[in-house]
Amino acid sequence: MATHVDSFGDASSVLTNHKLRLHAASLDTKIAILRAQVDELLKQRAAAQEGLDAITYPVLTLPVEIISKIFFLTLCAGGPYSELTVHGKSLILGHICQLWRQIALSTPELWNTIQLKSRGGLAPALIHTFLSRAASLPLSILVLDFDVDQDMLNMALSTVMPHSRNWAHLSIAGGAETMRRFQVVHQQLPQLQSLELLADELQPTISDDTFGTMFQHAPLLRKVHLKEFGLQRFALPWSQLTSLHISHLGQDLAEILSWTPNLVDLILGDADPVFLPPLPYLQSIIFADTIMSAQTEILSRLRTPIRRLKMVILSDLAPFAPPMAHPSSLDEVSLDIIPSGFVKLPSIECLAVLTSVRTLKLTAHGYSPSYTNFSLDLLIDRLIKDAEFLPALESLTIVLLDHNTVHIAFDGLVLAEMLAVRGLRNFELLSHCQVPDLGGKAEEFKAKGMRIHMQTVPNLDIRISRPEF
């Protein structure tokens, strides 16, 4: 019996070993097949990578200087106070690819705008990063103390204050306490070019000596914006200013302007009708508010001929009545047309006095042909038939902001006829609704050197208070 069992055990072992060898051989065969497949896939992967390496992306073929300029124009198109820049969008460029990161880090212009606030602003550690990357470039500093963590703001201020000699643009929006902190920069602003002091409300508590002379010694300061301040006299270098923006200022406008004999550009918000003092170098006036009586009175009392004018029109009264002084001196005019209740907008006849204007921009807010006298069709028809109407016109821009999405329809053929008759150098039409089709005439006009830009922009937003020139 024992011999039989041993023989059976040996037979079973032989069978098991045979099965295992067969299974191992089968696995070896599969492994060999898989290896062959992997080798083939690796060859295909190498070929694909070779193809990818051979592709040259157009943006990467540009010189580094051009890419750097594109970055700057994209992030800083709004100037020193661009919302894109001040919120640290420059940091995103470093996350795209290694080349873009290197270019961004080597472009100081992307890092010299710093916003100080607790929400959405730059933390102190990031402020140090921006300062180091800005190198020796002039700095734009924006301070907002509305609803902020004062401890965070104090830390941020302590970080930028030692660099005041490098400040070119300074904007302070907030209360008196924040502004008082800047007294330490007295006589330490050799590069300051523009200054904004924007209070959250009228500041009757600010005394005459709150600011002392902290902004008086700024030899390059030329541009100042004051908003919501009381009757205090600021120790500013008034006589050297060339651009002044005053909004809701509780000081006599005529008196302030008597301090600025070298003024070139004047922006007024919520202004009282005043008799402006002689301003021999004044070139432009922008009205950033909707007080028609003040605008017309100021224009009728001008002593100095101006070249550029932007104003707001609310009623059907002609905006140049009483008659504007020196209307023939105007070269560029921008009009914001706003409906007021059920009062119709002004007739195009109000433009008849603009005999010397070469550049005209009309921005109609809430435009509807059935509601307003300021009809685009009537304007175009007048330009076609009356050679004495706007005889010097070379550039015409029309912006139709129809926030109620009322259908706006006008004849593209009539528009083409106007362009043919007038021979404008530049024509631009932007609208919330569909712009007309000029057909083949558009290419014909462009071939003659005329610049034509017509676009439907559903989310177009243009602020009345924008600086136009």
Where does 206-344 have alpha helices with state H?
253-258, 292-300
pLDDT digits (tens, 9 = 90+) for 250-291: 557 788 888 899 999 999 887 777 778 889 999 999 988 766
Contact 209, 229 (CB under 8 A): no
- The answer to whether residue 313 is domain-embedded is yes
Domain end among 110, 144, 174 = 110
Residue 436, token pair as written in the block: 């007309």
**pLDDT band, very low/low/confident/very high, at 85 (cuts 50, 70, 90):** very low
Contact 197, 225 (CB under 8 A): yes
Exposed, middle or buried, 76 (CB in 10 Å: 0-12/13-18/19+)?
Answer: buried
Residue 120, pLDDT above cutoff 90: no
- β-partners of residue 269 are 247
Q: What does the alpha-carbon distance between residue 343 and residue 292 come to, in Å, rounded to a whole number?
A: 14
Residue 271, token pair as written in the block: 């202004």
Residue 110, token pair as written in the block: 């992307």
Per the omega criterion (within 30 degrees of 0), is the bond before 322 cis?
Answer: yes
Angle separating helix axes 124-133 and 150-160, nearest 10 degrees: 20
Share of residues in the chain with pLDDT > 70 (%): 78
pLDDT digits (tens, 9 = 90+) for 91-112: 888 888 888 889 888 889 888 8
Q: Which residue has the tokens 């070469």?
A: 358
Domain end among 76, 110, 144 = 110
- The answer to whether residue 167 is domain-embedded is no
What's residue 172's pLDDT?
Answer: 86
Closest CA to 285 of 115, 469, 130, 425: 469
- The answer to whether residue 15 is domain-embedded is no
- The answer to whether residue 404 is domain-embedded is yes
- The answer to whether residue 358 is domain-embedded is yes
State the DSSP H helix or E strand holding residue 114, giving kind and residue range, or none if neither: strand 113-116
Q: What does the alpha-carbon distance between residue 271 and residue 226 come to, in Å, rounded to a whole number?
A: 13
Contact 134, 159 (CB under 8 A): no
**Mean pLDDT for the chain overall:** 80
In Å, how far are 224, 257, 275, 318 from 253, measured between CA atoms?
14, 6, 9, 25
Domain end among 110, 130, 152 = 110
- β-partners of residue 223 are 194, 243
Which has more confidence, 406 or 216?
216
Contact 232, 204 (CB under 8 A): no
- The answer to whether residue 441 is domain-embedded is yes
- The answer to whether residue 250 is domain-embedded is no
What's residue 295's pLDDT?
Answer: 82
- β-partners of residue 455 are 430
What's residue 57's pLDDT?
Answer: 73
Q: What does the alpha-carbon distance between residue 228 and residue 146 come to, in Å, rounded to a whole number?
A: 15
Q: What does the alpha-carbon distance between residue 24 and residue 26 come to, in Å, rounded to a whole number?
A: 5
What's residue 83's pLDDT?
Answer: 43
Q: What does the alpha-carbon distance between residue 310 and residue 313 come to, in Å, rounded to a whole number?
A: 10
pLDDT digits (tens, 9 = 90+) for 347-370: 777 888 899 999 999 888 776 655
- The answer to whether residue 93 is domain-embedded is yes
Q: How many CA atoms lie within 13 A of 287 on its CB side?
A: 27
Where does 106-226 have alpha helices with state H?
124-133, 150-160, 176-180
Flag the least confident range among 88-92, 164-168, 404-408: 404-408
**Sign of torsion over alpha carbons 251, 115, 189, 182:** positive
What torsion do the CA atoms of 270, 272, 277, 281 make, to the nearest 10 degrees?
A: 20
Report how many domains make up the chain.
Answer: 2
Residue 72, token pair as written in the block: 């700057």
Q: What does the alpha-carbon distance between residue 434 and residue 458 come to, in Å, rounded to a whole number?
A: 9
Q: Which residue has the tokens 């922008």?
A: 286
Q: Which residue has the tokens 């008659």?
A: 323
Q: Is the pTM above the cut of 0.85?
A: no
- Domain containing 457 equals 305-469
Q: Report the SS3 class of residue 336.
A: strand
Question: How does DSSP assign 440-469, residue by residue?
Answer: THHHHHHHTT-EEEEEE-TT----TT----
In Å, how far are 250, 260, 264 from 279, measured between CA atoms?
21, 8, 8
249 C-beta neighbours (distance < 10 Å), count: 20
